[in-house]
Amino acid sequence: MVYFITDGEYTKIGYAKEVYTRLKALQTANARILTVRYVIDGNKHKEHKVHKMFEVYRAPAQNEWFKIPEGKLESILMANKITDLNFAKRKANIINTKSIGARQVLKGPPKSKKEKKAQKTKITLLLDDIRTRLAGKPHQMISYKGYQAKYGFTKEQISFYVRSARLAKDVYEFNAKVSRS
């Protein structure tokens, strides 16, 4: 995941598989309180792409810290169609507050206990559906498009849930088997 962590003045743009762990590691070496602004899906390649977008704001030390003026972070990300900023902000808030855990991202804040339960049930059903496909014979690739329509999640959300359930490698290997046959 590509993250944007700020100390209020500078923003670190980096890549980590576990953003919360990275936040804790950075905090031990920083006198200011660090917070996660955004978390977006991506790899090292995407991280470098984002670094280039903000190159003019790179800190004097020439590392992964940037001094980005207020409002520029959002406007540059939106102009480059990098991500759904609301969803990226929700993921960051979960990591910051740990209120519902870094491993569970909800599509929107449910208003009642019944809605919360329904949302968790949808996530569980989605993951069970993917596990069932993984247990079957690999005759057709697993695509998130069908799951988007069936469960109403975005591709980014499904990808996050799959990674959180530690199924991403299994899905990749399943799809590789299908493409070889």
The predicted-structure confidence for 92-120, as pLDDT tens digits, reads as follows 888 877 633 433 443 445 556 777 677 77
Contact 28, 11 (CB under 8 A): no
Position 111 scores a pLDDT of 58
Region class of 148: left (phi > 0), else alpha (psi between -120 and 50), else beta: alpha
Position 110 scores a pLDDT of 52
Position 98 scores a pLDDT of 62
Region class of 104: left (phi > 0), else alpha (psi between -120 and 50), else beta: beta
Domain that holds residue 56: 2-97
Residues 22 and 78 in one domain: yes
pLDDT value at 73 more than 50: yes
Mean pLDDT of 60-82: 87
In this structure, of 9-23, 88-102, 143-157, the range with the lowest mean pLDDT score is 88-102
**What mean pLDDT value characterizes the chain?**
83
Contact 130, 171 (CB under 8 A): yes
Domain end marker among 65, 97, 129 = 97
Residues 118 and 148 in one domain: yes
Residues 64 and 27 in one domain: yes
Q: Determine, yes or no, domain membership for 104.
A: no
Mean pLDDT of 74-86: 83
Instruction: Single out the residue of 39, 49, 31, 47 nearest to residue 4, CA to CA.
Output: 39
Q: Determine, yes or no, domain membership for 106.
A: no
Mean pLDDT of 39-59: 93
Q: 152 vs 38, which has greater pLDDT?
A: 38
Number of domains in the chain: 2
**Which residues are CB-neighbours of 82 under 8 A, at least 6 positions away?**
40, 50
pLDDT value at 138 more than 70: yes
pLDDT value at 5 more than 80: yes
CA distances from 112 to 87, 108, 117, 126 (A): 20, 12, 9, 21
Position 10 scores a pLDDT of 92
Position 99 scores a pLDDT of 32
**What percentage of the chain exceeds 70 in pLDDT?**
90
Residues 131 and 73 in one domain: no
Residues 118 and 91 in one domain: no
Instruction: Single out the residue of 50, 8, 1, 61 nearest to residue 30, CA to CA.
Output: 8
Position 21 scores a pLDDT of 85
Q: Determine, yes or no, domain membership for 108.
A: no
Position 58 scores a pLDDT of 93
Domain end marker among 45, 62, 97 = 97
